[in-house]
Structure 1
């Protein structure tokens, strides 16, 4: 896609599209009016395998790049370790590399130039003495209550939690200063961490940043798209047959727009992707017994869906084929990249084979030939009955050994 110079208003519209909330928008406007590229960072803890839910922030990163922003992707390996040990420290390095491959391929799939995209590994600066000292300084002005509240929707909550869950939000706030950005981007579930950063960074002499928030998009089964529920998410490397099977099982209640994961995926992924790919938003729904429906806005789709003009049996196949088409260039890049394949095996090694079951000694049944045995009452059964009854020599030797005295 050829890069074109766009106005400040157009830049701001692209930056804010599909966002739920923006904090300190004046900071963004001030940078744009200077003609400088807005520096934005988005962090992702390198834990589970990235799934299609990553298209939601991924498409926003693409729009930031299209708006002329400089985008830093923080591959937060240390955060992944701190969040209740979601990722073993031995694997986070490989997982960070896997995420880099995935995010790059995802942005290339929607034909966005990535010359202003930068990947930063968290451990490359978070383990330095300077960062550690600033983290100590920050911890001296943040209470336990505020740190716990900030991470409540992001850090996994467990009974008798470890201290790492309190360090996590402080580091996310401090990263804004060390990455030298104007704004941080994330889901609306990060709002409390963003509010903490806005409040406490100036207390230790660092400037306030803007914050951009995506809404939380429901998964295919209605709730949050979760890596732990295989049916609620579609892996970016799932085959077309697997994509079709999973979307066939997706919850898509007729005439219900609220909480509909299939419609939400169209709104936040498929329509923005079509704009980036073709210059205009367009979503096509072929119908078997009626004319094809063509949508350019989600409002039109929601209205038709609520009126039962757009039905689940038409919407789901259309979303399925559009998603398969979007995944195709990502999977093609994976298939020709030995490095990516090698990293995948190291980052997500297959589970060990289950231990072999010990062979139980089979009961061979009452009719299996056994060594003959004399019973207490003197009778003998089984294959060698004759030998036991009379002996090998017909009993001659036994009779001779008997000492029977004549009376």
Structure 2
């Protein structure tokens, strides 16, 4: 692959690239591999939206990049304590298992990747001092804006959520990379890094942003914190079928359609990766020839024309997705260590027993007086009846 072809592949299939000239300079002038990091906060169970990042990581590896995977354990706690601090260690192990399995499912050689735990360097003296520098010069409103689409927003935010984007910016320096990869939802954090790292003496990096897969319900993206929006990577075949059956999929409408977007950004990209650039998606039809797509625009046109209906599309996606998830589920079932870690990382929630409300029977003395009065009335009534005889 020529340097120009490498640069083209690095920038391919992305929604936006900030400071692309950095990529050109590293490859054409410095004549070395581009160093890129992709990070994930180890919160809820990873979902199928992760396929989008994994496919891009596969392309970056093919382009000759050196990739670092950051398992951001402290970020997971800082984001409104989505990961309880006592479970962080186990969730890091769980994420490493599942991210590696996910990468293998799309054909990535994981020996070419470097996995790094955030807390392995984020508690160092130098990092802490740099974090203090950023905290000292960053207004609360700026920190809130930076994390607006990534950190859970509340009317009365925790301090950890404000520190989150500052640390993500610093990670670029401490991981010694030229670029950071992330979803389009990371853009405000990326621009924060561009504007603020030079203020504490560090260089700016390039930022690679891929599109986001909309949620299956009304959510704008698949999210670990919104169960109805996502399909987990270890969901059973039956659960996948049920979730897709219930997914919002408006007939003849492409915009905001999570099912169509999933086919485009996951199924087409993965099959293209596995077949050397020849994507395909087959839709079986009862009593008719199957619809076979090698062009996403043709699929979209057929969907808008109602040739491809939501029912047909969902059934085909269910089959394709389950085939993609099968090796991940099989690896999980074959690993006692992974299953044990899953239990420790995501212990079952204890169901709160309903406490039966005791009826307030009032003051015992008053109750006794009322009963006595009632008994006296009954006695008088009975004696009156006797006299009338």
Shorter-chain TM-score tier: 0.7 to 0.9
| More off after superposition, 17-26 vs 62-71 | 62-71
What 5-or-longer segments of structure 1 have no aligned partner?
Answer: 1-5, 361-374, 378-407
Q: CA RMSD of the aligned region, Å?
A: 2.1
Aligned equivalents of 1:192, 1:353: Cα separation in 2: 39
1:357 to partner: Cα distance: 7.0
Checking the alignment, whether the CA contact within 8 Å between 2:181 and 2:208 is kept in structure 1 is yes
Match of 1:15 among 3, 6, 10: 10
Aligned equivalents of 2:287, 2:226: Cα separation in 1: 35
Q: Report matched runs for 1:253-402 at 5 Å.
A: 253-279=250-276, 280-355=278-353
| More off after superposition, 93-102 vs 304-313 | 304-313
If the length of structure 1 is used for normalisation, what is the TM-score?
0.84
SS of residue in 2 equivalent to 1:89: coil
SS of residue in 1 equivalent to 2:22: helix
Checking the alignment, whether the CA contact within 8 Å between 2:198 and 2:204 is kept in structure 1 is yes
1:355 to partner: Cα distance: 3.7
Counterpart in the other structure of 1:146: 142
Aligned equivalents of 1:160, 1:231: Cα separation in 2: 26
- Note if 1:197 corresponds to 2:193: yes
Q: Report matched runs for 1:1-400 at 5 Å.
A: 6-33=1-28, 34-223=30-219, 224-279=221-276, 280-355=278-353
| More off after superposition, 138-147 vs 73-82 | 138-147
SS of residue in 2 equivalent to 1:115: helix
Aligned equivalents of 1:355, 1:145: Cα separation in 2: 42
Aligned equivalents of 1:266, 1:221: Cα separation in 2: 16
Aligned equivalents of 1:297, 1:10: Cα separation in 2: 23
If the length of structure 2 is used for normalisation, what is the TM-score?
0.87
Aligned equivalents of 2:212, 2:236: Cα separation in 1: 26
Aligned equivalents of 2:89, 2:151: Cα separation in 1: 20
SS of residue in 1 equivalent to 2:348: coil
1:220 to partner: Cα distance: 1.3
Aligned equivalents of 2:73, 2:19: Cα separation in 1: 28
| Per-residue CA distance 1:223-277 (angstroms, 9 max, x = gap) | 2223344332111111111111111111111110111111100111111110122
Count matched residues: 359
1:35 to partner: Cα distance: 4.0
CA separation of 1:230 and 1:168: change in aligned 2, threshold 3 A: closer
Higher-Rg member (1/2)? 1
What 5-or-longer segments of structure 2 have no aligned partner?
Answer: 359-374, 379-389
Pick the structure with more helix per residue: 2
CA separation of 1:162 and 1:229: change in aligned 2, threshold 3 A: closer
Aligned equivalents of 1:179, 1:298: Cα separation in 2: 37
CA separation of 1:166 and 1:231: change in aligned 2, threshold 3 A: closer
